[in-house]
């Protein structure tokens, strides 16, 4: 009897030890990213280790940058992942894994509710993927990648820092018991980390090929480009592209010599614009101009641009730039006009900046006369 009881206890302990443990059981969360996109953070889809195997939810693999599709057949107890002519089948009734070419793997899936968790090492081997597992401020980051990934892990973590924070706060709120007498409803009606912000980005054109690269990242046309009279020379094709909707055009002139000289430069630059694309602009950036000069230029019918933030030094990281933009927008009615610097400087960190802006609920917009008149 003693031996039989001991065997039963041993079997029970084995079952408990083999049961998959959620990552957040010890208060640690695991974020998931697919290439340069951060996925939602919740318990239902959080990856976890079971033994020496890392399991990821089917939601992280299905129908995204990888071109992989997921299908589950509950009657046959199978899960199939396929891409073009390649398919791999997990039979969770028998614990077998087989590809359409007859290759077999050792492993299975774990099912929790409607989510199927898949062994990451098998997915990476079969679909030629890579992954990294990094310690970050708010837990860990699992990042699954293929050849189309743009950002390095370090750059992605820096760019997505504000998004890590906001999602972690939301996750913690969801796990915090609500005390009935605590007035939490008013606090959650308009959480700070979900505030929508409008950002007017301004980039100075100094090199046409570099500006073309900037446009590749900001193809929606929601950015403003400043030209000096000198930088307009030889930039006819770029001007025509911008005038067709790829971005707003503004003029940057040296206003230190007074309003008359500034207005002369504006007229000369507008003449170049007209010759290149039959357009003129009223948007101007007056460098070194006094308040009196600014007023005179405005009275002449032009719209001077004033930056809330100026990053022309190029030393700030993408996450720091966006953090300052968010603070400025929050303090000024939800919008911020920021000068990023020259096209050559901006292009070095633009991909990270775009990711950070998206993570900070920042919507890019281009300047126009109406906006500048109201500011």
How does pLDDT run across 127-136, given as a tens digit for each residue? 999 999 999 9
The DSSP output letter for 53 is E
Question: What's the burial of 93, exposed, middle or buried (CB within 10 Å: 0-12/13-18/19+)?
Answer: exposed
Q: Give the span between the Cα atoms of 363 and 361, in whole angstroms.
A: 7
Buried b (16+ CB within 10 A) or exposed e, 149-163: bebebebbbbbbbbb
pLDDT for residue 23: 43
pLDDT for residue 204: 95
Beta-strand pair 139-145/78-83: unpaired
Q: How far is CA 189 from the centre of its chain?
A: 25
DSSP code string of 25-38: GGT--EEEEETTEE
Q: Give the span between the Cα atoms of 204 and 340, in whole angstroms.
A: 8
Beta-strand pair 78-83/86-91: antiparallel
Cβ neighbours around 177 below 10 Å, total: 5
pLDDT for residue 14: 40
Residues (pLDDT < 70) of the chain are: 1-27, 176-194, 219-220, 314-315, 373-375
pLDDT for residue 170: 84
pLDDT for residue 262: 94
Asked if 63 and 70 touch (Cβ cutoff 8 Å), the reply is: yes
Q: Give the span between the Cα atoms of 251 and 64, in whole angstroms.
A: 41
Q: What are residue 50's phi and psi, to 5 degrees?
A: -130, 110
Q: Which CATH architecture has domain 19-172?
A: 2-Layer Sandwich (3.30)
Asked if 337 and 308 touch (Cβ cutoff 8 Å), the reply is: yes
pLDDT for residue 259: 93
> Pick from 92, 145, 149: which is nearest to 123 by CA?
145
Q: Give the span between the Cα atoms of 344 and 348, in whole angstroms.
A: 7
pLDDT for residue 178: 54
Q: Who's near 72: CB < 8 A, 6+ residues apart?
A: 58, 78, 79, 80, 116
Q: Which CATH architecture has domain 197-374?
A: Alpha-Beta Barrel (3.20)
Q: What are residue 154's phi and psi, to 5 degrees?
A: -65, -40
CATH 3.20.20.370 segments of the chain: 197-374
Asked if 186 and 315 touch (Cβ cutoff 8 Å), the reply is: no
Q: Give the span between the Cα atoms of 57 and 31, in whole angstroms.
A: 12
In whole angstroms, how far apart are CA 317 and each of 112, 157, 203, 263? 40, 12, 16, 36
The whole model's pTM is what? 0.54
Q: Give the span between the Cα atoms of 171 and 224, in whole angstroms.
A: 37
Q: Give the span between the Cα atoms of 321 and 348, in whole angstroms.
A: 14
Q: In the chain, count of helices (H) and strands (E)?
A: 13, 21
Q: Give the span between the Cα atoms of 203 and 339, in whole angstroms.
A: 6
């Amino acid at each position: 009897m003693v031996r039989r009881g001991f065997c039963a206890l041993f079997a029970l302990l084995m079952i408990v030890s083999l049961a998959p443990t959620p990552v957040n059981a010890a208060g640690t969360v695991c974020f998931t990213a697919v290439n340069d996109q951060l996925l939602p953070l919740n318990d239902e889809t959080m990856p976890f280790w079971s033994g020496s195997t890392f399991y990821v939810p089917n939601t992280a693999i299905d129908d995204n940058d990888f071109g992989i599709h997921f299908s589950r057949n509950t009657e046959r107890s199978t899960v199939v992942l396929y891409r073009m002519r390649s398919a791999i089948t997990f039979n969770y009734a028998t614990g077998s894994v087989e590809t359409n070419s007859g290759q077999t793997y050792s492993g299975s899936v774990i099912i929790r509710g409607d989510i199927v968790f898949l062994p990451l090492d098998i997915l990476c081997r079969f679909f030629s993927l890579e992954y990294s597992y990094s310690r970050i401020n708010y837990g860990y980051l699992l990042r699954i990648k293929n050849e189309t990934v743009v950002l390095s892990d370090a750059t992605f973590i820096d760019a997505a820092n504000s998004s890590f924070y906001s999602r972690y706060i939301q996750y913690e709120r969801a796990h915090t018991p609500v005390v009935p007498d605590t007035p939490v409803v008013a606090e959650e009606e308009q959480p700070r980390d979900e505030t929508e912000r409008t950002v007017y980005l301004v980039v100075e054109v100094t090199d046409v090929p570099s500006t073309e690269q900037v446009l590749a990242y900001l193809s929606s046309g929601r950015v403003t480009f400043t030209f000096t009279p000198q930088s307009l020379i030889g930039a006819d094709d770029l001007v025509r592209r911008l005038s067709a909707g790829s971005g707003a055009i503004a003029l940057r002139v040296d206003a230190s010599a007074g309003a008359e000289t500034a207005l002369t430069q504006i007229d000369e630059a507008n003449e170049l614009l007209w010759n290149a694309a039959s357009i003129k602009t009223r948007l101007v950036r007056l460098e070194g101009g006094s308040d009196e000069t600014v007023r005179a230029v405005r009275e002449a019918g032009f719209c001077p641009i004033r930056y809330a933030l100026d990053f022309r030094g190029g030393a700030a990281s993408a996450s720091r730039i966006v953090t300052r933009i968010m603070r400025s927008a929050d303090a000024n009615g939800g919008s911020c006009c920021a000068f990023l610097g020259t096209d050559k400087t901006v292009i070095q960190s633009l991909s990270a900046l775009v990711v950070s802006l998206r993570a900070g609920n920042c919507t890019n917009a281009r300047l126009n006369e109406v906006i500048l008149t109201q500011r």
